[in-house]
Amino acid sequence: MSMVNTFSGSSLEVLIDARQIASRVRELGEQISNDYRGRTPHLVGVLMGAWVFMADLIRSLSVEATVDFLGIQSYLAGTTSSGEVKITKDLDASIAGRDVLVVEDILDTGHTYHYLQGVLSAHRPASVKLVALLDKPARRVVPVEADYVGFPIPDVFVVGYGLDYNQQFRRLPEVRILGESGDRQIG
């Protein structure tokens, strides 16, 4: 099986390695480019988790794209979603008439994207779609779906490739499962 590292008492088993991520991101880029051929999608990255994915995704597109970022806080600390979503950084540019493609690191309970759909559609974009690198369908509370999913994953808490646990582990080039060990409480 995959390699296990430990960081201060947590196990970090590799779930998706860097090569798998790179090849799936290339496929997503091709699919999105085909679907948006002749248009210029407006990529809206959801901070903080999505920026590593978005940086790779945009380089796999063969259509022009514009970018903006939205700051969202749905996890104040720990790994449990409160269902409370707060905007910490608003969009810089108008999305009226634009083909908005929301870029998320992971679709979990669905609270964040459900909230975003409301906020974004109020600004009259031509379309709103979602690309999520990861999807945890078993965790869904609000019935929303991503239009493009990199990898469906089981109900585990993952870090790396931009995803964090209390700001740790974003730098890891692969997606790893943050396992419980010692006195750490997960989930």
Considering only residues 42 to 71 of the shown chain, the ones binding ligand IMP according to CB under 6 A are 46, 49
107 binds, among Mg ion, ligand IMP, none (CB under 5 to 8 A by kind): ligand IMP
Sign of the CA dihedral 82, 88, 94, 100?
Answer: negative
Nearer to Mg ion, 38 or 149 (CB): 149
Please give the Cα distance from 91 to 120 (Å, whole number).
10
Q: Which stretch in 41-49, 53-61, 82-90, 91-99 sits in contact with Mg ion by CB under 5 A? A: 41-49
Residue 10 binding ligand IMP, by CB under 6 A: no
Residue 49 binding Mg ion, by CB under 5 A: yes
Residue 111 binding ligand IMP, by CB under 6 A: yes
Q: Which stretch in 12-20, 44-52, 54-62, 125-133 sits in contact with Mg ion by CB under 5 A? A: 44-52
Residue 133 binding ligand IMP, by CB under 6 A: no
**Closest separation in Å from C-beta 46 to ligand IMP:** 6
Instruction: Tell me the one-letter amino acid at 111.
Output: H
* Residue nearest to Mg ion as judged by C-beta position: 49
99 binds, among ligand IMP, Mg ion, none (CB under 5 to 8 A by kind): none
* Residues engaged in binding ligand IMP (CB under 6 A): 46, 49, 74-75, 81, 104-112, 157-159, 163
* Residues engaged in binding Mg ion (CB under 5 A): 49
